[in-house]
A = this chain, B = another copy of it.
Amino acid sequence: MVLRATPEKREEKERVRQALLRAALRLGAQHGFASLGLREVSRAADIAPTSFYRHFSDMPELGLALVRELVNPMVHTLVTQASEGGALSERLADALVAAVNADAELVRFMVAERVGAFVILRRAIAAEFDVLTSVLAKTQRSGPRAARSSFAAAAALALIYDGLVRALDVQPDQRAALREQLIAQLAYVLEASDPNEGSDA
């Protein structure tokens, strides 16, 4: 006798689960994910501390869910936007600024936990970033001087990561200026390896 929850039930459970994830993200952006407690997050999500266990066995498991269910889609959106038409440097800078504007808390979590306390989270986030690197390398490999393209991809990824960090520490109205700066920096490292790549801007 296998009982299945009704769609409404599953939907309701998912709502609470999302509330927990968002609460952890918001509080983690303020005090750091490693210092978050199960009670603190549950309180912010308006459930009893004991109800936490209906969704996650502990905080690290919640962190992994954050990577799988929120960081992963964000990185893929970033890759998709960067693969659309136009100059690569511009597309990357736009996608980056868009990510920070759309969900600064998630970006904060991503860049912080990439070098954070939990090994398991560092690994998971590094894996997400690797997707971005290989996409960049592929884009570059289409041009000449393929050997140098991996250097360009590595430098571009480092600039992107650095750009995310700087965008977070800057007022929203200054992000346009940061975008211009990023475009120039990315063009510098990307176009040097392949002059055929778009350089109209």
Contact = CB atoms under 8 A, between A and B. Distances in A.
A111 to B, nearest CB: 5
Contacts of A157: 162
A154 B126 CA distance: 22
Nearest to A153: B185
B158 A122 contact: no
Interface residues of A, number: 35
A115 B117 contact: no
A143 B168 CA distance: 33
Interface string A85-121: 0000000000000000000000010011011111000
27 contacts: A30-B117, A31-B117, A32-B34, A32-B35, A34-B35, A34-B117, A35-B35, A35-B117, A112-B116, A115-B115, A115-B168, A122-B169, A148-B188, A151-B188, A152-B188, A154-B159, A154-B162, A154-B181, A155-B185, A155-B189, A157-B162, A158-B159, A158-B161, A158-B162, A161-B161, A162-B162, A192-B192
